[in-house]
Amino acid sequence: MTVNVLFAATENRWAEYEAPLRNAVSAAGIDAHIATDITPDQVDYIVYAPNSELQDFTPYTRAKAVLNLWAGVEAIVGNPTLRLPLCRMVDPALTQGMVEWVTGHILRLHLGMDAHIGAAPGTWAPQAPPLAFDTRVSVLGLGELGAACARALSALGFDVAGWSRSQKQIDGITCLSGAEGLDAALARADYCVLLLPKTPETENTINARTLALMPKGARILNPGRGPLIDDAALRAALDSGHIDHATLDVFRVEPLPADDPYWAHPQVTVTPHIASETRAAYSAKTVAENIRRGEADERFLHLVDRDAGY
């Protein structure tokens, strides 16, 4: 029997995904009709981006699951009309991209690359950088992306701890949880990587109080969510010298306005929300596997825990 798959996202996403999705679903052995305009009561699966025009799931009475194209689900998980199973997007390219961004920017700061790249010709200042063995990194958020980054940094020799709301266990990583665990993670963080979801509980995790807990000269990297940081508090900590540098990829307002103080701050690196991105050739395979699982009555991959909210 033909499976009807509704692609509910922006037009540019359809142009990007149409061929890879058809190929991935076919390779998974599924006879599927994939389109952007299927009658709601005939839809079996919804491939979904939260910025889609589709916001009311009530008419989709036959659908078995919503397969999110974004890694984050905070923009959809609170939708009161959504009663279907919801699967977050996890794919190798998304994870690999985040690992590369995080490790690359930490190594840039750790090795002091800017001083050599920007040095005047003839400058000879032979000062060896510190070793990773003596450098502590705390990763806030130990989901799929945070855990992968923690493992990669540990493999490079960094002393890595991770914090999450509920206790996790990851080989080689000191895992902390709860309010006391958060304070402990920040107090040891020469580098702090923010990979928490955006929820009411995580907003302004980095604030005046928590910044004061961090060692003088600490560095912050935020490829997670803009609202995790109290921006005024971070700028004050940078100006005072307590925080040495912030590398920021996400912001409360995007694109970051041209007059935002972060652009001109000498201790801030801005990247334009590029830390990680789903690539259709890879993420289409995740979608296809979940459709295959649904048709075989197997458990979906990356099913969202509604009680946890993410």
Tokens 């004050």 correspond to 236
Which is the catalytic residue, given 273, 279, 293, 306? 273
At 57, is the secondary structure helix, strand, or coil? coil
What is the amino acid identity at position 301?
L
Q: Are strands 32-35 and 45-48 parallel, antiparallel or unpaired?
A: unpaired
Indicate which residue of 151, 225, 245, 292 is catalytic: 225
Amino acid letter, 1: M
CA-closest candidate to residue 88, choices 63, 64, 69: 69
Give strand ranges (E) for 141-201: 159-164, 174-177, 191-194
Nearest to 149 by CA among 94, 89, 83: 94
Can 209 be counted among the known catalytic residues? Answer: no
How long is the chain? 310
Can you tell me the distance from the alpha carbon of 133 to that of 78, in angstroms, rounded to the nearest whole number?
Answer: 42
Please tell me the distance from the alpha carbon of residue 290 to that of residue 271, in angstroms, as a whole number: 33
* 273 annotated active-site: yes
Q: How far apart are CA 158 and CA 70, in angstroms?
A: 30
Phi, psi of 137 (to 5 degrees): -120, 135
Angle, vertex CA 23, rays to CA 19 and CA 25, nearest 5? 120
**276 vs 180: CA distance, rounded Å:** 30
Distances, alpha carbon 12 to alpha carbons 8, 21, 67, 107, 285, in Å? 11, 14, 18, 35, 19
Contact of 130 with 110, CB cutoff 8 Å: yes
CA dihedral sign, ordered 183, 184, 188, 189: negative
Positions marked catalytic: 225, 273
